[in-house]
Every structure is written in structure tokens, then in C-alpha cells.
Amino acid sequence: MKISQTQLASQAILVVGDSMLDEYWYGDSTRISPEAPVPVVKIQKTEQRLGGAANVAANVSSIGCRSSLLTVLGKDLSGQELIKLLMENNVSSLCMEDPNIKTIEKLRIVARNQQLLRVDFEKIPDKEVLLLALKTFKDHIKYFNSVILSDYGKGGLTHIKDMIHIARTLNKPVFIDPKGSDYERYRGATVITPNTSELAQVIGLWKTESELIEKAEELRKSLDLKYLLLTRGSEGVTLFKQGEHISTPAEAREVYDVSGAGDTVIAVLASFVSAGLSMEEATLLANKAGGIVVGKFGTSKVSYKELIDG
């Protein structure tokens, strides 16, 4: 079954979670500092991109669905720049401002196409702002076809259990990109999309494929999840559902940068399921999208044309 751009355009997806401004400083490094044994980078160009949940929302829009982002930002220049980038990427903003925090930033210093250093700025939002975000979620969820909860462990999804309950009560599919070791908070979601290292934090390491299958299926059942989609890097993906698991090999591509690959995978999965594909069919496209985006530098987007016509 092929989904048209018209079908995608009819779908509205709400993305909720931890957003960040990804900043890149590009330059050249030809010498070591006399002050410490570190390279000196002469900056020649800077660039800002959407990161975290904001990158998920941008991917949803790039694929062709109507995309909205609910997130908490600081009342600062970085927050203003992030909102500007959302507008440029055709993402509607439902952003909350917390004057007591700084918008999450990830600053990467890059020389000769190699990342030398990453500097993070972050602080957990105040409880009052998070409660306001939950109220906004309650007020707006009825206007959307499905929900993506993008958890980067930065505190923006403190009320995720309530959000899942509200969405499922209204029969809205819930797609979650998980973080950390407490998966109980994701109970009742439609699907979660951990990578292998994230899943290992929860179920422990496995020695054989059969052990992985047993542990992953046990987790899916215990959390009342309809699906669990495991992204496995060079090994592709495995979709777990009631009584069955389906593995799809990775598409052969050169891996350049894995930053934001999970954002793209869940955006594609949610977009095409919302538009009418089965989870199994959408998984094939999500796997393809992951293969495309790791061939790009930094947090990037995948378009409908790349997926369908590429």
C-alpha cells in the first residue's frame, strides 16, 4: 500500500517532549594550544538546527504531515531562535516558557568534519510550567490524529503517564521514543522505539537472539504495549507484537553521523501509521529513513521524496 502526500497532509501529529537547540561551530584546527594539550579551532562558520522533540516535529513536517510541538523552553534568545526554526520548518508551536531555565542547548565544535567537543546547557523546568503543559495537552489533543512523546530525560515529560492515559482514552495512538531505565512510565503506549543500548538498560544484556526475543516480548506484554520496535543499528530493526516478531535488515549505507536517527525513525513510523499503513509496513519505511539520515551530518530530516522515490 502506497501512501500519497495528500493522505499524509490530512494527518495532524502532536509531538511532546524535550526540545533543544543544536548549535554547530565549524572551523579548522592546525595546532595545539600552548595553554593545555588541546587543539585550537579557528571558527569559520556557525549553524543552528532543531534537536530532540523539535527535530522529531521537523521530520514529521518534512514527511508531509501537519506537525505541532508542545515543549518547555527558557525565556531567552535560544528559545526565540528555536521557535524561529520551527516556523521555518512549518511546525506549529505550542511552546511554554519557563523564565527560570535556559533553553536546552547542545554546542558541537567541529573541525575537518570531526566533532571535537560537545557542550550541553540544561535545567529541569519548574513544576508549575509542566502542569501548564499538561493542561495544554488536555485542551489540544482532540485536534490531532496521533501523539509522539519524545523523551530525552530532561524533565519535560514529567507527566507522561497522564498524557498516555488521556491520549488512549481518546483512541489516539501513542508513539514513544524512550529514555532511562524506568519503562513503567510508558505503560499503555501503542509502541516504544528503544535502540539496543536503551533496551539493555531495562532488560539486561542478552547472549543470543532467542534470549533477546524472550526478554523483549516479556517487556512488551508486562507494559501492555501493542508493539515494541527495537532499532539495532547495522542489524536493522525488529518489531515485536503479540505472538510474533519481524526483523528487517538495515539498508546498506555508509554511516556518517547517528545524531537524531531515532527522531527520524519515530517521526516516519507515526506519520505513515496515522495515514493508514500498518505498523509492519510503516516499520519498513522507518528502517529506510534511519538508513538515509545516518548518512547525513548532524540532526537532519528525511523527505517524502527520499523515502518513496529515492
The DSSP element (H or E) to which 113 belongs, if any, is none
Q: Measured in whole angstroms, how far is the alpha carbon of residue 90 from the centre of its chain? A: 17
In this structure, is the dihedral angle defined by the CA atoms of residues 258, 260, 262 and 264, taken in order, positive or negative?
negative
The active-site residue, picked from 22, 98, 151, 263, is 263
Q: Are 167 and 204 in contact (CB under 8 A)?
A: no
Place of cell 506549529: 92
User: Got the DSSP string for 98-109?
Assistant: ETTSPPPEEEEE
Q: Are 78 and 101 in contact (CB under 8 A)?
A: no
Active site annotation includes 98 = no
Query: Strand 227-231 relative to strand 91-93: parallel, antiparallel, unpaired?
Result: unpaired
In this structure, is the dihedral angle defined by the CA atoms of residues 144, 309, 262 and 101, taken in order, positive or negative?
negative
Q: Measured in whole angstroms, how far is the alpha carbon of residue 48 from the centre of its chain? A: 17
Task: Tell me which residues are annotated as active site.
Answer: 263
